[in-house]
Amino acid sequence: MSAVILVVDDEHDLATTCERLLKRGGWLVTTVGTRGAALDTLTASAPPALAIVDRYLPDGDGLDVVRAARARGARVIVISGHTSSANREQTLAEGAARFLGKPFTARQFLDTVRAVAGEPPRA
């Protein structure tokens, strides 16, 4: 499986921060901002090792991306500002490995990524 992490979030600043943290940690990263771009990326390239997906995207439900990523064999972390237990339970029932509520710290983010994806590959 590819060592790439796909980040899907429409909040540009958050997506950029996640991308920087991941790259600094040694992962390869692809970042997109919409459900459509994420689905296109998932079908057009090798599956990522991990997808980090915002639950609510401007063009649809992030769970569509979760399902597509899981179908390609990727593990998934869902991030969302909507942290109700119902949202968390539905997200995990759809196959996400973890649910991370916004806002989160850099440490929480990286600890969650490591728990799901392991350490980045050595160059």
Each residue's pLDDT expressed in tens, for the chain with a length of 123 residues:
347 999 999 999 999 999 999 999 999 999 999 999 999 999 988 899 999 999 999 999 999 999 999 999 999 999 999 999 999 999 999 999 999 999 999 999 999 999 999 877 665
* Residue 3: predicted pLDDT: 75
- How far apart CA 29 and CA 20 sit, in angstroms, is 9
CA terminus-to-terminus distance, the chain? 16
- How far apart CA 3 and CA 23 sit, in angstroms, is 12
CATH architecture of structural domain 4-117: 3-Layer(aba) Sandwich (3.40)
* Residue 123: predicted pLDDT: 55
DSSP code of residue 11: -
* Domain ranges within the chain, ordered by starting residue: 4-117
* Residue 118: predicted pLDDT: 86
pTM of the model: 0.94
* Residue 1: predicted pLDDT: 39
What percent of the chain stands above pLDDT 70? 96
Task: Provide the β-strand partners of residue 118.
Answer: none
* Residue 2: predicted pLDDT: 46
